[in-house]
Amino acid sequence: MNLFRTTVLLTVAIVIGSFLLWNHEHKQADYANARLGGLVGSAIYQIWHNYDEFANYPPDDISVERLAAMNEKLIAISAYSQLVDQAKGTNLLLPVSNHLQTISRYLNSQLSKQQTLSQEDQQVYGYMLQTVAEIEPQIGLVYYAPGVHEGPKVALKPNRSAVQKMAATRDRLKDYVVQLNDKKQ
């Protein structure tokens, strides 16, 4: 009888210990996911906010200073984009910011050479601003959970149709940059 009681008590202790260990691990995983979600949410907001500032730039007012400010923002956007793309398993934000940096460097080069931008270069600048205006709402559709009324919440899985639309924008921008590079050479 004593052996039976000891076995039962030992079994109960192992079950309770296993449950407590599982509960602790589960809470740690939830905490890590919450922290990652917070980091990703903050990064997404910073990306969106920096792109939103581009919307305030008049399409016909371009200068070396403006391009330098845009390039600084694009560098920050690239850093945040890398974090989001890695955390979410997407390849959307970083290529877009890199392509926009290429356009910004091209325009800066043109402006340095000629002291003014040609009509064609102004169209390139306009295309850049248009692409930013197109990307900005897509960020919310791809990375935020729909129907949340308490403020934006990072979606666990990106919205598939929004991802496809953003990927199309990314690919169109890539093709544009390739054509722009071909013109330079």
What pLDDT digit, counting tens, does each position of 145-170 carry? Answer: 666 555 566 666 777 888 899 999 99
CB 50 within 8 A of CB 73: yes
The structure tokens listed for 35 are 């922290």
The structure tokens listed for 140 are 């919310």
pLDDT of residue 66: 86
**How confident is the chain (185 residues) per 10-residue block, as mean pLDDT?**
69 68 63 64 88 84 85 92 88 94 90 83 90 90 68 68 90 92 73
Helix locations, 55-152, DSSP H: 64-88, 93-114, 119-143
Spatial separation of the C-alpha atoms in residues 185 and 168, rounded to whole Å: 26
CB atoms near residue 83 (< 10 Å): 19
Spatial separation of the C-alpha atoms in residues 113 and 106, rounded to whole Å: 11
C-alpha of 116 from chain center:
33
CB 48 within 8 A of CB 114: no
Q: Is 40-184 a domain of CATH 1.10.3470?
A: no
Bridge partners of 144, per DSSP, are 154
